[in-house]
Amino acid sequence: MSLETLETSAAEPAPGGSAERGAWIRVIAMTLGPIAAALVLSGAILLTLGVDPLAYYATVLERGLLSPYGLQATVTRMAPLLLLAASLIVAFRAGIWNLGGDGQFLLGAVTVAAAGPLLATVAPVWLTLVLCLVLGAAVGAAWSLLPALLRAYQGVNEIITTLMMTFLGVSFANVLVKLAFRDPATTVPQTRTLVVDDRLPRLFGTTISSGVIIGLVAIVAVHLVMTRTAFGLKLRVVGANATAAIHAGLNVPRLTVAVFAISAGLAGMAGAVEILGVQGNVRADWNPAYSLTVVPLVFLARFNGFAAIVFVFLFSVLSIGGESAARRLGVPNFFTLAIVAILLIVLALAEYLDQRRRERIRS
């Protein structure tokens, strides 16, 4: 069996007019339905807390989208999220659950925060930034090596191993900040600070970090590679049916390790972009936990890179605006994460009901 045969057999027949419209309606319903349901349920929770949900959502839009400062903060927040979305799209399309993105992100961030100020003293700014981006990607990829080898050659479930490596990675990163990478000139445990002039440049005289350009290029490149290239086809075949991929002559273990390396490398680069574009250093116990937050956004986008950009933008609006709304209306700061959690539950329920519906139609 050849790769071309697999591609032909996996291709769906071109839908007709009504069938195509029905498919589009289903996709839209499966995308917008969970979002609307999550917002309604979150609004009900706000009512129980004595907060007007319409006032909360209006404040989110005002502070995260309609104000110039809020919009700039929203676009800047997108930079690491886009790279993490690209990381998850690569893994999920290849049938691999890399849930270790937070550990890969944080270790990449800590390493870059420690190396950046030192590199800036001996290298030009542009070279420092390039080396830091490469270093963050390399550290993230290296942290995924053990789960990759266990999945590729022993068949160990990567959900367990990547989550365990995240726990270890977060703890190890904190140890590095407090010991090996600690800035001796400060009383609060943190790395040395990369000065503003040595960070990623701002765009068009605004506060928007050019890291968002890196994120956009990465997610578009990932989408095109996974949908338009032979390499992307191989990864999708492995994800769809590893046994068929072996019969087609594909080196499944090698491709598995490659997927882990690319996915984790993008997560590590996301950490580098966050440090080079926004933070400048890492304090002890800092962990934004972006990766698991991006998971439902990638599923809502149906692993489509262009759609993921839209959902990352909407989440960034919710994240930035939610911080202001929390201060104004007395809502807990973590309520944004509660909305994401509700969205994930509703999305899973919608997928389950849709699967049951399709099974009834087939029977």
Which CATH number characterizes residue 87's domain? 1.10.3470
Total domains present in the chain = 1
User: Is 41 a residue whose pLDDT tops 80?
Assistant: yes
Q: DSSP label at 206?
A: S
Instruction: Return the pLDDT at 71.
Output: 94
Q: Is 253 exposed, middle or buried (0-12, 13-18, 19+ CB in 10 A)?
A: middle
What tokens does 189 get? 């445990």
Q: Which residues contact 43 (CB under 8 A, 6 or more apart)?
A: 53, 54, 56, 57
User: Is 9 a residue whose pLDDT tops 70?
Assistant: no
Q: Which ranges in the chain belong to alpha helices (H)?
A: 3-10, 17-48, 53-61, 68-93, 101-120, 125-143, 145-154, 158-178, 211-228, 230-240, 242-247, 252-274, 290-300, 305-329, 335-362
The whole-model pTM stands at: 0.90
| Mean pLDDT of the chain, nearest integer | 90
From the list 315, 302, 319, 278, the residue with the least C-alpha distance to 354 is: 302
Instruction: Return the pLDDT at 351.
Output: 82
Q: Which domain holds residue 245?
A: 3-8+17-362
In tens, the pLDDT along 65-93 reads 999 999 999 999 999 999 999 999 999 99
In tens, the pLDDT along 98-153 reads 999 999 999 999 999 999 999 999 999 999 999 999 999 999 999 999 999 999 99
Instruction: Return the pLDDT at 321.
Output: 93
Quote the percentage of the chain above a pLDDT of 90: 71
